[in-house]
Structure 1
Amino acid sequence: MPSRSWPPSRPPVRALVSAALAGGLAAAAYRWLREDVPGGPARWDRTNHAGRTVTLLEGPAYAAGAATAVALTGGGVAPVVATVGSAAFGALDDLGGDSSSKGLKGHLGALARGQVTTGALKILGLGVSGLVAAALADRGRDDRSTLDTIVGGAVVAGGANLLNLLDLRPGRALKATIALGTACVAPGSAASAGAAVGAAAGLIRPDLAGEAMLGDTGANAAGALLGTALVQRSGRRGRLVALAALVGLTLASEKVSFTRVIESTPGLRAVDAWGRG
């Protein structure tokens, strides 16, 4: 009888195992945090677009479940660093930020005026953690240059920012994570992509019900993990295409409301609304 290796070597199997672990761990972490809220519920409660009180505890639960699953299924150090690092800088903005400056333009504009916002610190932190994650993913690979790594770092940071831009309605960011993570499953990225998908699936029920949201902590972690999965499976061309798309979408978000575009497009509107309580 042939021996069974651990972690599984076949990408689809490894992705499924990683997804199952991440989903279970993220859901368990969320339940535990809800029972024993660090700092008290008021520290994590926010008001959503509909005026309902939601908790941001979904964010740390996502990061913990996804990062642990990647580590247990042999996904490498890079996605763990990307997930944990981005979650930490997201938490800085979630718990210590203010609303005086919004968006990339707002935070960079404040920085130009000499005002250092938590959002600006988060942008810098996402850039650094993204570059470190890309460097770790490319370590020991002779077919990756310094330029490839820099582009990869920008993809990781850009992914973290993009998912945060989608976390405006129940389930939206998690649905995007599931779709993009499924597309990223490949040799080298199966554990990362599977963990991104699984953690999202494990937390989508309270998100769709309007009880919880990812916040910057979870959205940045999910986007960075997806970006790392893409970096793990892509060469220079794929990374450049991804970066161009991320830059385009980020710049567009400064001028156009993603919510307005989604709600005015029948197919997107149907997918976006599916499952909401």
Structure 2
Amino acid sequence: MSAARIAGRLLVTGLGVVLARSALRAVDRSSRGTRLRRTNFRGRPVTLAAGPALAAGGAVAAAVGAPSPAAAGAALVTGLGCGAVGLYDDVVGARPEQKADKGFAGHLRALSEGRISSGLVKIAGVGLSGVAAAALLAADPWVRSHPARGRGGLVTRGVDVLLGAGVVAGTANLVNLLDLRPGRAAKSGLLIGGPLVGGPVGGLVAGPLGATAALLPDDLDERVMLGDSGANALGGLLGVALAARTGPAGRAVILAVLVGLTAASEKVSFTRVIGATPGLRELDEFGRRPSDT
């Protein structure tokens, strides 16, 4: 990379840091900040304010660093959209009548009873955000210039949009599935996005990674949680970057991997696998607040 590009990526990363920290303070000190207070899996008090802070800070910074107006729009739609429906699930899903509506079976059961679960709202919102982002990318000359994309007809472009939407929504879901221990979703996002920073879509991911890194210490110290809002937004923004620089074949491969991992999560506990795998276990625990026991 040229010195100018490196400087630009660093500035966007710094913007993500500043926006996320500022948003965290603003949300936590607002009149509605108390509604985001929770206790985590060890019974420690935390706030979910980090979720909307990452969503807002990451989305705006990604838009600033985007290589084109359409890519900027895709980042804003995805980050803010996924963050908003994730926050809805974080707040409404904590209500007693919603707690039983977990998993896809729970959402279907609620629907059969004439109720719309907060989780179903989140799924629909993340999916629509993915479709909107993929449609914006499909109309973007910068994205369409990728050699793997080719010209294609209307049907081909429609399939490409669906694949892109699947990548965005699937990545959002995967990062959310990993958000079961302090810092895990944030570390996963940094590992996925890190290799992309030096490439053509680096401006799209530098801001979200800066926002994530800014919140990671508090996440590891169990003062904040990303929740569905932050995890879905982070994953969605990474999905936009992945979709922006892959053609239909690349998107299909990424989507297949995401579907496979999601299906595996229904049968196997990621937490158990990570805990039993040397290297992954140490990485997962690195920097985390020690147990009181």
Q: Residue 208 of structure 1 is aligned with which of 199, 220, 236?
A: 220
Tell me the CA shift for residue 28 of structure 1: 1.9
Q: SS at the partner of 2:18?
A: helix
Q: SS at the partner of 1:46?
A: strand
Q: Is the 8 A contact 1:103 1:254 kept in 2?
A: no
Tell me the CA shift for residue 185 of structure 1: 2.9
Partner of 1:4: none
Tell me the CA shift for residue 29 of structure 1: 1.5
TM-score, scaled to structure 2: 0.85
Q: How does 1:165-184 map to 2 (within 5 A)?
A: 165-184=177-196
Cα deviations by residue, 1:1-44 (Å, 9 ceiling, x for unpaired)? xxxxxxx973x44433221210121112212333x234241x10
Q: SS at the partner of 1:239?
A: helix
Q: Residue 32 of structure 2 is aligned with which of 35, 39, 44?
A: 39
CA distance in 2, matches of 1:19, 1:242: 25
CA distance in 2, matches of 1:140, 1:72: 16
Divergent runs of 4+, >6 A: none
Partner of 1:56: 48
Cα deviations by residue, 1:165-197 (Å, 9 ceiling, x for unpaired)? 111111100001111111233554222211221
Question: Cα 1:105–1:181, aligned 2, differ >3 Å: closer, same or farther?
Answer: farther
CA distance in 2, matches of 1:174, 1:220: 11
CA distance in 2, matches of 1:159, 1:38: 32
Question: Over aligned residues, Cα RMSD in angstroms?
Answer: 1.9
Q: Is the 8 A contact 2:243 2:251 kept in 1?
A: yes
Q: Is the 8 A contact 1:14 1:190 kept in 2?
A: no
Equivalent position amino acid for 2:40 in 1: N
Q: SS at the partner of 1:211?
A: coil
| 1:27 aligns to 2:21 (yes or no) | yes
Q: Is the 8 A contact 2:52 2:229 kept in 1?
A: yes
Q: Residue 62 of structure 2 is aligned with which of 56, 70, 73?
A: 70
Q: SS at the partner of 1:115?
A: coil
TM-score, scaled to structure 1: 0.90
Q: SS at the partner of 1:54?
A: strand
Q: Is the 8 A contact 1:207 1:213 kept in 2?
A: yes
Equivalent position amino acid for 2:179 in 1: D
Q: Is the 8 A contact 2:16 2:58 kept in 1?
A: yes
CA distance in 1, matches of 2:248, 2:219: 35
Q: Is the 8 A contact 1:78 1:228 kept in 2?
A: yes
Q: Which runs of 5+ in 2 are unaligned?
A: 145-149, 152-156
Q: How does 1:108-257 map to 2 (within 5 A)?
A: 108-112=108-112, 114-141=114-141, 143=150, 145-185=157-197, 187-257=199-269
Tell me the CA shift for residue 268 of structure 1: 0.5
| 1:95 aligns to 2:91 (yes or no) | yes
Partner of 1:5: none
Equivalent position amino acid for 1:71 in 2: A
Tell me the CA shift for residue 105 of structure 1: 4.0
Tell me the CA shift for residue 252 of structure 1: 1.1
Question: Cα 1:163–1:15, aligned 2, differ >3 Å: closer, same or farther?
Answer: same
CA distance in 1, matches of 2:7, 2:264: 37
Tell me the CA shift for residue 107 of structure 1: 2.2
Partner of 1:86: 82
Tell me the CA shift for residue 57 of structure 1: 0.1
Over the matched positions of the two proteins, sequence identity in percent amounts to 48
Tell me the CA shift for residue 160 of structure 1: 1.1
CA distance in 2, matches of 1:140, 1:216: 29
Q: Is the 8 A contact 1:58 1:212 kept in 2?
A: yes
